[in-house]
């Protein structure tokens, strides 16, 4: 099954556009977990178990695992999600980007080692740096387009060419058209567009048709849910993976942190659904 078909099934089954970001920071873990050798796995797995029926995807951020030599816990976590919650795809947030022969190695890392269903990729090195990822026909490749951080504008908001096109718009055009000749990779491609810029989400939606958009930046980063959904939804009221990480993960500080996470995930899912 193509990644976007898997995603569409999760949108429908869980009535949710919420992507739960798994950025595990042990300094913020509840006290009872801190001394456990597999605390990172346990923390994330409990969050996943508590929110799987409310989410359209999970998005572990690999840096949080790699900084702590916890690659084995990331493998175990993704296997756990696939085993317990089939139908909720896992997006490995890795933002890799390299020339073809090296991109092949990164694709092995993401898709074969970690068994991720999709991965985030940086477009700066161009089309041939993306193609090795697209060779995996059932996997998703979600290209950075417009990012939600302050410095995102440094490059992405530059006007390119003779007209009034910003670089992020060009990336959207390239991904939707030039890098997808004759729709060959339809069902595999997506874009990252930050929630802090609703006008730009709307512009990207206009360019890319129904391509799925991964939208970080609600919650801790301040993006507004109404504006995000209104700007980014497709005609059928979907097309979005709206990510929330810290607001869900660290909703509670005690042993009931997973229940607290579920409450925030439920509220966030429903807040999103009000504007679909």
Whole-number minimum distance, CB 217 to its own copies, in Å?
9
Whole-number minimum distance, CB 238 to its own copies, in Å?
26
The closest alpha carbon to 143, from 103, 113, 112, belongs to: 103
Contact pattern for its own copies over residues 121 through 140, marking x by CB under 8 A: -xxxxxxxxx----------
Cα separation, 262 vs 198, whole angstroms: 26
Q: 35 Cβ partners below 8 Å, 6+ apart? A: none
Q: Which residues are catalytic?
A: 95
Q: How is residue 24 written in tokens?
A: 């595990």
156 is a contact residue toward its own copies (CB under 8 A): yes
Measured from the CB atom, is 52 or 77 closer to its own copies? 77
DSSP run (H or E) holding 273:
helix 257-273
Whole-number minimum distance, CB 129 to its own copies, in Å?
6
Measured from the CB atom, is 16 or 147 closer to its own copies? 147
Region at 115 (left for phi over 0; alpha for psi -120 to 50; beta for the rest): left
Provide the 10 A C-beta neighbour count for residue 245: 24
The pairing of strands 213-215 and 240-244 is parallel
71 is a contact residue toward its own copies (CB under 8 A): yes
Given the rule CB under 8 A, which residues bind its own copies? Answer: 23, 61, 63-64, 66-67, 69, 71, 95-103, 105-106, 108-109, 112-113, 122-130, 144, 147-156, 158-161, 167, 170-171, 174, 178
């Amino acid at each position: 099954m193509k990644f976007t078909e898997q995603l569409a099934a999760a949108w429908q089954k869980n009535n949710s556009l919420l992507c739960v970001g798994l950025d595990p920071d042990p300094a913020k873990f509840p006290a009872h977990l801190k001394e456990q050798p597999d605390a990172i796995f346990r923390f994330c797995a409990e969050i996943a178990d508590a929110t799987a029926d409310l989410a359209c995807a999970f998005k572990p951020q690999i840096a949080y695992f790699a900084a702590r030599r916890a690659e084995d816990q990331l493998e175990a976590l993704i296997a756990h999600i696939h085993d317990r919650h089939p139908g909720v795809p896992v997006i490995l947030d890795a933002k890799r980007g390299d020339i073809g022969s090296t991109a092949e190695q990164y694709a092995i890392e993401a898709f074969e080692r970690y068994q991720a269903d999709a991965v985030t990729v940086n477009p700066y090195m161009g089309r041939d740096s993306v193609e090795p990822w697209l060779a995996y026909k059932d996997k998703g490749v979600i290209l950075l387009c417009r990012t939600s951080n302050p410095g995102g504008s440094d490059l992405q908001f530059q006007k390119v060419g003779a007209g009034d096109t910003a670089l992020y718009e060009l990336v959207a055009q390239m991904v939707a058209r030039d890098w997808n000749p004759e729709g060959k990779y339809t069902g595999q491609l997506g874009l990252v567009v930050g929630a802090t810029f609703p006008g730009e989400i709307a512009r990207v939606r206009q360019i890319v048709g129904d391509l799925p958009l991964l939208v970080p930046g609600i919650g801790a980063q301040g993006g507004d849910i109404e504006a995000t959904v209104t700007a980014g939804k497709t005609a059928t009221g979907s097309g979005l993976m709206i990510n929330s990480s810290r607001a869900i993960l660290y909703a509670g500080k005690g042993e009931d942190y997973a229940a607290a996470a579920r409450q925030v995930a439920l509220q966030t899912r429903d807040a999103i659904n009000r504007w679909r």
